[in-house]
Structure 1
Amino acid sequence: MRISVIGCGYLGAVHAACMAELGHDVIGVDVDQAKIDALSEGRAPFFEPGLPELLKAEHGRLRFTTDISEVSHARVHFVAVGTPQLEGSNAADMRFVDASIDALLPHIGPGHLVVGKSTVPVGTAARLAEKVEATGAELAWNPEFLREGFAVSDTLTPDRLVYGVRRGDDRASDVLDEVYRRPLSTGTPRIITDYATAELVKVSANAFLATKISFINAMAEIAEVTGADVTTLADAIGHDARIGRRFLNAGVGFGGGCLPKDIRAFQARAEELGVGHALAFLDDVDQVNLRRRQRVLDLITDALGTELAGRTVAVLGVTFKPDSDDVRDSPALDIAARLALRGVRVKATDPEGIETARAKVPSLDYHPSARDAVAGAEVVTVLTEWREFRELDPREVSTWTDARTIIDGRNCLDAGAWRAAGWTYHGLGRP
């Protein structure tokens, strides 16, 4: 099929490359010339495992441009632009989605299908459908469920596909079935529903996951004052099939470009709909999450004293999660930045996120390796659970620095091994 993807950021670039891998003829469009140049050369403008190889492999079926008029040959148009948090508000900023639809309108007509991928407030699709249908084209909403670090596999082998269409619009569903023929042929579940439900699937899933993370972090707060071990607690309740163990890892909390802004936008939309009380609990979810960052700062203060200016702290990990260079709303980078504001020399490292972090917080002292970051530090913190940090040998680390206090912000280290090596170990919600 001939497909266009409007917006070549994280979502759009991955989607475009994966659609080409599925055998389609794809053109990606973005206003950022530097991004288009990189993608055209087979270079991913961000770190995502598997994407560079896909960009090179699919060069013959995949191209990129800044000229929106070049999408006119396509018949399916995916809109995959960002919906960041609106400045000064919890609501989603819809300018990029609206601008993309408006830019598409002169180039679509009967027989075309516009497919929304962006995470939007419920009611958006119905509003945009009026514009799209005025051209003779149709609109569907097909939410994404990508995990950074696994986005390629999540697109090629999704755990479900959701189509939001006009009631009775079999053509739109048939077209999407053709787009996703390969994953559907392997048994991927397909759910066909209305616009509103499709829009709610993504934000409600993110709200649930955020709630689960904040729940176990709230239990960590209780554990810290009672001497309980939140990790063992999570293991125990996770054996209950109704609960499950995933997303029950206590630590510095969630971040990134989705969960924080999505739960806030969901609350804002509920307020607009007059049912703000239904999602009032998400404010507590947000606050629990933010408190865990302060807890790490408190542990550092306990170790070094209240006068932090001039002290040195090693920060291992600045991205919001491993296998990504994304530092948007990263708890790790936020903690590092707050330390720097108090006069601490922060020696930070990350396998992939140094340059993205440096662009956002240039005041940190960045280093290429854990060994370099730890040298001369008085306290060592692990704030992103990259494999190479999880697997550090505490006895070897002891030869890099005179520090003997480690703060495990992700509860990802072997506490017994670090203590046996002579370290004072602090986890979150662990005795």
Structure 2
Amino acid sequence: MVDADQTFVIVGGGLAGAKAAETLRAEGFTGRVILICDERDHPYERPPLSKGFLLGREERDKVFVHEPSWYARNDVELHLGQTVDAVDRAAKTVRFGDDGTVVHYDKLLLATGAEPRRLDIPGTHLAGVHHLRRLAHAERLRGVLASLGRDNGHIVIAGAGWIGLEVAAAARSYGAEVTVIEPEPTPLHGVLGPEIGTLFTELHRDHGVRFHFGARLTEIVGQDGMVLAARTDDGEEHPAHDVLAAIGAAPRVALAEAAGLTLADRARGGGIAVDERLCTSDPDIFAAGDVASFPHRLFDRRLRVEHWANALNGGPVAARAMLGRDAVYDRLPYFFSDQYDLGMEYSGWAPPGSYDEVVIRGDAAKREFIAFWVREGRVLAGMNVNVWDVTETIQSLVRSGVQVDAERLADPRVPLESLVA
């Protein structure tokens, strides 16, 4: 039985960790809650870093999960700018990397997140090479984009995933010149497939972004420590004042691996392997957020999801599981994006090769539609583009697993609700 004598430690001060701490107190836990964050900023949400904050439309204090005084008011011991370099499962302790402090835990949550993948090419030491993962990155990049816009400067972005495209949109809003380098034939190829990826090509080209598909960066050329150009493996050279590496993120599993916890297959996204309660191979250690690989019954496989909703919902489930409550994490993957005048939400999981066809409901040319990824008549995922208040129905349709007639699915006159069994 949980009581005031117990100590729950959370390693990772992102959204998952902060929401887990909040849930522990909301559920009545009266023991010690220790939240360890390796950044000096209070826990914050990451979507604004490539959206509203980067665009200059949101102030810095709007990104934080809680106001700073919340932690003291709720008796959450917040350690900022601290790292954990070891977990001793036998002794049930964690060791701080800075000063060697050892803290006992009764339950431990690893919410260590992910880190941006690095370009392994010459020239990455130059001053104009950027990543976007942390608040400090976003603050720096916001100033860079504003400066590029004023001076008609040029940024090369390696990677046409969500971060790459959102930064491209932000850069164009400041007036900067943008070239995106992407090895796949379309943006977001591994998430949306070529059918819908092409739509994002057209969207960004309409706003002046240049794409170079089927190529990878091989060198960043500089002079006097500053970026001058970016070269690709097909012999092209692109002028640049700055370069953003947006080639994905890797789960931060070093701590878990050193502790001997079971990891998920790297070929399927890697991460810390957890069960449906977000419990690791150690019954007293849990994992949530970007770092957790969880089994999803609907898709009959493990998933590791690097999006806001996963952290928002996973942290509380892990907290309830740590308390011994009934808790199962079975949320559908969900993410959203805003680029120029396009807003979208995606629910489900349907990478290329998993579906038979993409059914469009609405007007794709006007960018007001819903796309459905379908296999054998069953909807695996749906994405609403500039069509709102349909996410719950789309998710119900995915969860139901019912076979749907493609013509009715594509017909806006047929209520979506009527297609759900």
So what's the TM-score if we normalise by structure 2?
0.29
Higher strand share: 2
Higher helix share: 1
So what's the TM-score if we normalise by structure 1?
0.29
Higher relative contact order (Cα pairs below 8 Å, separated by 6+ residues): 2
